[in-house]
């Protein structure tokens, strides 16, 4: 079985999938952390791999950038490949004063300026939230690894380059920690499919402070985020086998 975006066969993909936006980051995770990783997808170079992490199967696949892209890939994983859990691992821009470069943020919820929820024809405003059990597992994993992760609300925006003065300070006033471009769609897809999802993000820049990380610093920080996600995935795979 395959889809227009994924040439994996049924059974090639584990029940838990890590999803970085960059497919090369998926390749890095697979080759660095998974035992005997097998590439199951090369369509559009959106690479996907399955291997063993501490003896349990874990998959990792790129999602691309933005809510439409992660919306497609996560939908297919949930509905066509029987994936139960997706953990987004990506970068975010720090918004709150308390958030600094290289911090790891676990997204309890995801505000959005996107119209993605319109497809559900809901009589109100939907609030996309992460799965509590996954949040709890990620927090515990971070503590065991000695990583101080912040838990809170983020903004999933359709805008990367704001054409006028940024409205990010207004989101900060409402307690939003960071901004990225995918989590809200992932959370909505998971809710609609009765599946589980979580976003773990690393702060790669703080636009309101005009602070940015170097490529080397981003690589080192990504590793912390990956390890939290892998330990979270391991927890569920071990306990659900």
> DSSP for 84-118?
-EEEEEEEEEE-STT--TT-EEEEEEEEES--GGG
pLDDT at 237 over 80: yes
Q: Using one digit for the tens of pLDDT, what is the confidence trace for 189-217?
A: 999 999 999 999 999 999 999 999 987 77
Would you say 9 and 82 are in contact if contact means Cβ atoms under 8 Å apart? Answer: no
Cα-Cα end-to-end distance for the chain: 24
142-169 as b/e, with b when 16 or more CB fall inside 10 Å? Answer: beeeeeebbbbbbbbbeeeeeeeeeebe
Which pair of structure tokens corresponds to residue 209?
């402070």
pLDDT at 73 over 80: yes
Q: Label residue 108 by pLDDT band (50, 70, 90).
A: very high
Cα gap 210→178, rounded to integer Å: 14
Which pair of structure tokens corresponds to residue 167?
């409205």
Which stretches of 146-214 are DSSP H helices? Answer: 168-173, 183-193
Let me know if domain 16-240 sits in CATH 3.40.50.1580.
Answer: yes
pLDDT at 241 over 70: no
Check residue 184 and give its pLDDT.
98
Residue 65: HSE in the Cβ half-sphere, 13 Å Cα cutoff: 9
Q: Using one digit for the tens of pLDDT, what is the confidence trace for 114-141?
A: 999 999 999 999 999 999 999 999 999 9
Would you say 6 and 48 are in contact if contact means Cβ atoms under 8 Å apart? Answer: yes
Output phi, psi for 156, to 5 deg: -100, 110
Q: Could you give the 3-state DSSP secondary structure of residue 149? A: strand
For the annotated catalytic residues, the residue numbers are: 205
Check residue 1 and give its pLDDT.
67
Cα gap 238→54, rounded to integer Å: 9
């Amino acid at each position: 079985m395959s889809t227009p975006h994924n040439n994996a066969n049924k059974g090639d993909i584990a029940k838990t999938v890590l999803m970085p936006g960059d497919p090369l980051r998926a390749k890095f995770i697979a080759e660095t952390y998974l035992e005997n990783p097998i590439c199951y997808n090369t369509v559009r170079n959106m690479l996907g791999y399955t291997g063993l992490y501490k003896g349990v199967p874990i998959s990792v696949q790129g999602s691309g950038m933005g809510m439409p892209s992660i919306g497609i890939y996560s939908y297919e994983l949930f509905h066509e490949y029987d994936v139960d859990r997706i953990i987004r691992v990506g970068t975010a821009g720090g918004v709150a004063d308390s958030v600094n470069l290289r911090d790891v943020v676990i997204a309890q919820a995801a505000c959005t300026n996107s119209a993605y929820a319109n497809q559900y024809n809901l009589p109100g405003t939907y609030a996309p939230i992460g799965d509590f059990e996954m949040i709890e597992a990620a927090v515990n994993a971070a503590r065991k690894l000695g990583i101080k992760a912040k838990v809170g609300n983020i903004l999933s925006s359709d805008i990367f380059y704001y054409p006028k003065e940024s409205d990010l300070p207004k989101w900060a006033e409402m307690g939003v920690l960071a901004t990225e471009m995918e989590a809200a769609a992932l959370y909505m897809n998971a809710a609609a499919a009765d599946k589980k999802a979580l976003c773990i993000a690393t702060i790669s820049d703080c636009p309101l402070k005009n602070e940015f990380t170097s490529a080397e610093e981003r690589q080192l920080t990504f590793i912390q985020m990956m390890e939290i996600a892998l330990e979270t995935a391991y927890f569920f795979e071990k306990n659900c086998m």
